[in-house]
């Protein structure tokens, strides 16, 4: 199934790609999506480890199952005071 992935400004791919479509197996989880992204784009591996997956405006657990056509955003956590 195809899902759309958006990357926050701290995670964009080389060349400034902030959005892409990726095919994952039916019933794939967010964690499996992260693994597929890391395989296809190894330069993202470290950034994806600390990224917050967001679906429909809410934090998504890595065990959450994806639906066809869904959009998953990956945002960098920000700390400060």
Domain membership of residue 80 (yes or no) is no
Q: Is the pLDDT of residue 1 over 80?
A: yes
pTM value?
0.88
Domain membership of residue 49 (yes or no) is yes
Q: How far apart, in whole angstroms, are the C-alpha atoms of residue 63 and residue 12? A: 24
Domain membership of residue 81 (yes or no) is no
- Name the token pair of 54: 């967001």
Q: How far apart, in whole angstroms, are the C-alpha atoms of residue 18 and residue 76? A: 13
Domain count, the chain: 1
Tell me the HSE value of 46 on the side-chain side, using a 13 A CA sphere.
Answer: 2
Band the pLDDT of 76: cuts 50, 70, 90.
confident
Q: Comparing 78 with 48, which gets the higher pLDDT?
A: 48
Q: How far apart, in whole angstroms, are the C-alpha atoms of residue 72 and residue 81? A: 28
Tokens 């197996």 label which residue?
Answer: 25
**Domain extent for 57:** 2-75
Domain membership of residue 59 (yes or no) is yes
Q: Provide the CATH number for the domain around residue 47.
A: 3.10.20.30
């Amino acid at each position: 199934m195809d899902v759309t992935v958006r990357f926050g400004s701290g995670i964009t791919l080389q060349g400034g790609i902030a959005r892409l479509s990726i095919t994952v197996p039916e019933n794939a989880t967010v964690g499996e999506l992260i693994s597929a992204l890391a395989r296809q784009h190894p330069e993202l591996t470290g950034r994806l480890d600390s990224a917050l997956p967001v679906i429909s405006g809410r934090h998504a657990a890595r065990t959450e199952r994806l639906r066809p056509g869904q959009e998953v955003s990956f945002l960098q956590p920000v700390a400060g005071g």
